[in-house]
Amino acid sequence: MIELHNISKSYTNKNNIETKVLSEINLKINKGDFISIMGTSGVGKSTLLNIIGLLDSPNSGYICIDGEKMDISRLSTDKYSKIRNRYIGFIFQDFKLIRDMNVLQNVEVPLAYAGYNKKLRKERVKEVLQQVGLVEKEDAYPDQLSGGQKQRVAIARAIANKPKILIGDEPTGNLDAETTEEILRLINSLNKLGVTIVLVTHDLNVAKNANRILELHSGRLAEYSID
**Which of 2, 7, 33, 39: binder of ligand ADP (CB under 6 A)?**
39
Is 56 in contact with 90 (CB distance < 8 Å)? no
d(CA 183, CA 151): 8
Candidates 6, 11, 115, 144; binder of ligand ADP (CB under 6 A) is 11
Point out which span in 45-53, 134-142, 144-152, 190-198 binds ligand ADP (CB under 6 A): 45-53
* Residue nearer to ligand ADP on the CB measure, 85 or 209: 85
Three-class secondary structure of residue 22 per DSSP: strand
Shortest Cβ 91–ligand ADP spacing (Å): 7
- CA-to-CA dists, residue 12 to 20, 49, 51, 59, angstroms: 9, 20, 18, 11
Query: Residue 11 CB, nearest distance to ligand ADP (Å)?
Result: 4
Binding of ligand ADP at residue 16 (CB under 6 A)?
A: no
E-state strands within 30-148:
34-38, 60-65, 68-69, 88-92
Is residue 121 within 8 Å of residue 111, measured between CB atoms? yes
Angstrom distance (rounded) from CA 195 to CA 192:
7
Q: Which is nearer to ligand ADP, 125 or 178 (CB)?
A: 125
DSSP state string for 141-194:
-GGGS-HHHHHHHHHHHHHTT--SEEEEESTTTTS-HHHHHHHHHHHHHHHHTT
Q: Which strand ranges, in their side-by-side order, compose the sheet holding 88-92?
A: 88-92, 165-169, 196-200, 34-38, 212-217, 220-223
Residue from the set 54, 134, 158, 187 that interacts with ligand ADP by CB under 6 A: 158
Nearer to ligand ADP, 100 or 178 (CB): 100
Please say which residue, 143 or 178, places its beta carbon nearer to ligand ADP: 143
Q: Please tell me whether residue 47 binds ligand ADP under the rule CB under 6 A.
A: yes
Q: Does 42 bind ligand ADP (CB under 6 A)?
A: yes
Size of the site for ligand ADP (CB under 6 A): 20
State the binding string over 67-96 for ligand ADP (x if CB under 6 A, else -): ------------------x---xx-----x
Q: Could you say which of 25, 157, 197, 215 contacts ligand ADP (CB under 6 A)? A: 157
Where do contacts with ligand ADP occur on this chain (CB under 6 A)? Answer: 11, 19, 21, 39, 41-47, 85, 89-90, 96, 109-110, 157-158, 161
